[in-house]
Amino acid sequence: MPATEFDTTLPSIRQLQNWIKQKATVEFKLMTGDVIVGKVFWQDINCVSIVDANNEQISVWKMAIAYMKVRSDTVV
């Protein structure tokens, strides 16, 4: 499969898809040190869209993400 196609067999892609289905609150720590908390709205090959507690939609380049994890202590 060419690297430019969306590969749904990759574990990270499947994990994000599960978080979308579960409407889980997720913490994204960016390479800049910034932290974004919200629900994953959609993803594509380059970006993840997150809806935060203010109901604002934020698009983040996947290359900018240092880590991501489910937040069980926060409800958005």
pLDDT at 75 over 70: no
**C-alpha span between 31 and 56 (Å, rounded):** 21
Cβ contact 25:70 at 8 Å: yes
Q: Three-state DSSP class for 18?
A: helix
Give the pTM: 0.84
Q: Say what the pLDDT of residue 2 is.
A: 55
pLDDT at 11 over 70: yes
pLDDT at 1 over 50: no
Q: Say what the pLDDT of residue 6 is.
A: 82
Q: Say what the pLDDT of residue 5 is.
A: 79
pLDDT at 29 over 50: yes
- Mean per-residue pLDDT of the chain: 91
